[in-house]
Amino acid sequence: MKEITILSGKGGAGKTTVTAALASLATNAVFCDNDVDAADLHLIFKPEILETHKFSSGSIATINQDACTNCGLCETSCRFDAIHSNSDGYPEVNPFQCEGCRLCERICPAEAITTHENFNNHWFVSETRFGALVHAKMGPGEENSGKLVSRIREKAREIAIKTKADIIINDGPPGIGCSAISSITGTNLVLLVIEPTISGLHDAKRLIELVHSFKIPMLALINKYDINTDSTAEVEEYLKQNEIEIIGRVPFDTKMVDSMVHEQSIVEFSPRSKASEELKQSWNLIARSLEYYQ
Ligand code: SF4
Ligand code: SF4
């Protein structure tokens, strides 16, 4: 069983569109939406949720104001500036700033503070027309996206082993944050989706450095390659210098947008379009390349 992670240096490069197209072409695959901060694969996959699980984003402090003597110690001691007086003059914890360090709990002379697990994130196992999908939803302002990605990838692997799937396709997050790092770890291959723009290349360079530091093989697909031929040439030159093979050049096609509006992949919506044809060829090259990567 092989695993591929689809990534882009920045949002809006077409990563999810490409993932959906490859989902239409892959057989016997399990899918995992690693973009837990802004999950959107479900919009096309239209999953039927079979399992819902809670995921802790860490600990958070709560103050029992009935027990509080208002000594002010917690407010002055919190290193994260997470405790402030409310309109009644009593201390209150800001859940978005609390790091769950438990200092306030330990020092409160009235034992008015307790910390508890914050289960504001959820992850799901779903059935879709393409195969099983593991995905997640983070609560507003929640953290620990890297750990959540690791958890859902672990579940996707479990399902893939159980169902004897040939491949796991991860739709990774944009950028180089914690969740991107968690998406890269242990994958067999990274597919970089890049748009030929100045910012597209700038952000892709940082991602390429990151993936290279993990020594994971990387292929590239240029999306909307025909919107700016000069930029495309620059992107191609950079990829060549970094020995990254280009496996596809997808043309700009308004049908791509139409397919999203119809909640379908481009391959489903317009199978004979130029974009679909190019993506089919790209998928064949990816499948062939995967045979060589352990
Ligand atoms: S340390 Fe305890 S008693 Fe003092 S203000 Fe904070 S919660 Fe109230
Ligand atoms: S647990 Fe730590 S971060 Fe949270 S309010 Fe208490 S002292 Fe501040």
Contact by Cβ (8 Å): 199, 63? no
pLDDT digits (tens, 9 = 90+) for 155-196: 999 999 999 999 999 999 888 888 899 999 999 999 999 999
The answer to whether residue 151 scores a pLDDT higher than 70 is yes
pLDDT of amino acid 179: 87
pLDDT of amino acid 14: 87
Confidence of residue 144 (pLDDT cuts 50, 70, 90): low
pLDDT of amino acid 19: 93
Give mean pLDDT, residues 96-124: 93
- How far is the centre of ligand 2, averaged over its atoms, from the C-alpha of 83 (Å)? 7
Q: What percent of the chain has pLDDT over 90?
A: 76
- How far is the centre of ligand 1, averaged over its atoms, from the C-alpha of 91 (Å)? 7
Contact by Cβ (8 Å): 34, 179? yes
Confidence of residue 294 (pLDDT cuts 50, 70, 90): low
Give mean pLDDT, residues 197-204: 91
The answer to whether residue 102 scores a pLDDT higher than 90 is yes
Question: What are the structure tokens assigned to 284, written together?
Answer: 């064949």
Q: What is the DSSP letter of 252?
A: P
In sequence order, the β-bridge partners of residue 48 are 127
Contact by Cβ (8 Å): 184, 216? yes
Say which residues have a Cβ less than 8 Å from residue 93's Cβ, sequence separation at least 6.
Answer: 60, 61, 62, 63, 82, 83, 104
Question: What are the structure tokens assigned to 167, written together?
Answer: 């491949």
Is the beta carbon of 63 within 6 A of some atom in ligand 2? no
Amino acid at 11: G
pLDDT digits (tens, 9 = 90+) for 187-200: 999 999 999 999 99
Going along the chain from its start, the domains and CATH numbers come out as 2-56+121-290 (3.40.50.300), 59-117 (3.30.70.20)
Nearest CA residue ID for atom 4, ligand 1: 71
Give mean pLDDT, residues 115-120: 87
Nearest CA residue ID for atom 2, ligand 2: 101
Q: What is the mean pLDDT of the chain?
A: 93
The answer to whether residue 140 scores a pLDDT higher than 80 is no
**Strand 2-8 with 189-194, pairing:** parallel
Give mean pLDDT, residues 19-35: 95
pLDDT of amino acid 52: 97
pLDDT digits (tens, 9 = 90+) for 9-26: 888 888 889 999 999 999
The answer to whether residue 40 scores a pLDDT higher than 90 is no
Q: Which residues, judged by CB distance below 6 Å to any ligand atom, belong to the binding site of ligand 1?
A: 63, 68-74, 91, 108-110, 112-113
